[in-house]
Amino acid sequence: MAIALIIPDRKLDDLQQRLQQALPDTRIEIWPKLSAPAEITFAVLWKQPAGIVATLPALKAMQSFGAGVDGILADKTLPALPLARIVDPALTESMLQYLTGIESYYRLRLDTFSDLQRQKQWHPKGPRKLRTLCVLGLGELGSAAALHFQEQGYQVSGWARTPRQLDGIECYTGIAELPTALAEADLVICLLPLTMATENLLNADVFAMMKAGVIFINVARGAIVDDGALLAALDSGQVQAACLDVFRQEPLDEAHPFWSHPAVLVTPHVSAVTRVDTVVAQISENYRRSEQGLPLLNEVDLQRGY
Ligand code: NDP
Ligand code: OXD
């Protein structure tokens, strides 16, 4: 019985130490230095190289180190074992802080003033009148965002795969109701998971359903958006501005037009980063559960893909 941390792009000493404290009798090893792969029964994964998990013959369960699991499920050799994801109030709080900052940035026209500063131009303007907002995806993060902005005085609509009920939010379901969900929104926030059903979902037709001059924020996954369609919508003014935290390819290629488009704000996938200190308890609890054959906390539906 041992745990493998297979997270190539992150320093893992802190996670290893904290898990070791929580599970003193269990060996916690960091890939690629696994002393005995045949003894690994639980793997914590994030952007793992394809094929690695399939080489662990005793594996019983998998844990995503983030809220999303698309990067894990992209490995077609992944064994069909229980997979859990992170659900953490600290992650939600971080996303709300980011979205609050971005909303203020556009409302206060800081995008415009920063352009004007570069041109040494003095043009006072009042705040943008942003009153309506749509959240695509009403799960852990999307429902928190919808309720947060509703409390801030926005008229909020939301869209999910199945019917949802949230106090004060107009909730819509399925492709047929997407145009209504989007139609009135001054701001659209994408918090959908990347699945077969959502890949390239936000295409030219969907940008055309949005209100002219909408501000679009993507904090979910880059591949949900058709980049060319977004650029065309920005060039035509259908989308007034876009804040993008996630990209089809990360890091964003230096030749990508998003970097230099005047109406695009790029942030490097920072809106809600998993905190080791707040997630150790759920990861160690899931390890215990997997050893006892119990259902995991925050288990993903592998068929749905989220
Ligand atoms: P959840 O699984 O809790 O919620 C997903 C929501 O999307 C649900 O409301 C679900 O509908 C809806 N949905 C899924 N598929 C469809 C579809 N085909 N059509 C309409 N709605 C759909 O996810 P979270 O809220 O925890 O996270 C959302 C995503 O945010 C993650 O998958 C991840 O990609 C991204 N993320 C990004 C971060 C960053 O730093 N940029 C940090 C953390 C997460 P239903 O309610 O009916 O199931
Ligand atoms: C996540 C992320 O899904 O950081 O947790 O993108």
Q: Could you tell which of 10, 221, 274, 279 is best to mutate to test the pocket of ligand 2, judged by most ligand atoms within 8 Å of the CB?
A: 274
Active site residue 269: yes
In this prediction, residue 21 carries a pLDDT of 98
Active site residue 304: no
- pLDDT tens, 209-225? 999 999 999 999 999 99
**Ligand showing the shortest atom-to-Cα distance for residue 267:** 1
| Per-residue confidence band for 10, with pLDDT thresholds at 50, 70 and 90 | confident
The DSSP secondary structure of the chain, one letter per residue, reads: -EEEEE-TTS--HHHHHHHHHH-TTSEEEETT--S-GGGEEEEEESSPPTTSGGG-TT--EEEESSS--HHHHT-TT--S--EE----HHHHHHHHHHHHHHHHHHHTTHHHHHHHHHTT-----PPP---EEEEE--SHHHHHHHHHHHHTT-EEEEEESS----TT-EEEETGGGHHHHHHT-SEEEE-----TTTTT-B-HHHHHHSPTTEEEEE-S-GGGB-HHHHHHHHHHTSEEEEEES--SSSSPPTT-GGGT-TTEEE--S-SSPPPHHHHHHHHHHHHHHHHHTPPPTTB--TTTT-
- pLDDT tens, 141-200? 999 999 999 999 999 999 999 999 999 999 999 999 999 999 999 999 999 999 999 999
Whole-number Å distance, alpha carbon 68 to ligand 2 midpoint, is 5
- Residues of the chain with pLDDT > 90, as a percent, come to 99
Q: Is the pLDDT of residue 122 over 90?
A: yes
In this prediction, residue 248 carries a pLDDT of 98
Q: Is the pLDDT of residue 289 over 90?
A: yes
Average pLDDT over residues 39-65: 98
In this prediction, residue 153 carries a pLDDT of 98
Whole-number Å distance, alpha carbon 46 to ligand 2 midpoint, is 9
Whole-number Å distance, alpha carbon 173 to ligand 1 midpoint, is 14
Whole-number Å distance, alpha carbon 246 to ligand 2 midpoint, is 10
Q: Could you tell which of 9, 64, 135, 141 is best to mutate to test the pocket of ligand 1, judged by most ligand atoms within 8 Å of the CB?
A: 141
Q: Is the pLDDT of residue 46 over 90?
A: yes
**Ligand showing the shortest atom-to-Cα distance for residue 199:** 1
Q: Is the pLDDT of residue 9 over 90?
A: no
Pick the catalytic residue: 27, 107, 164, 269? 269
- pLDDT tens, 71-91? 999 999 999 999 999 999 999
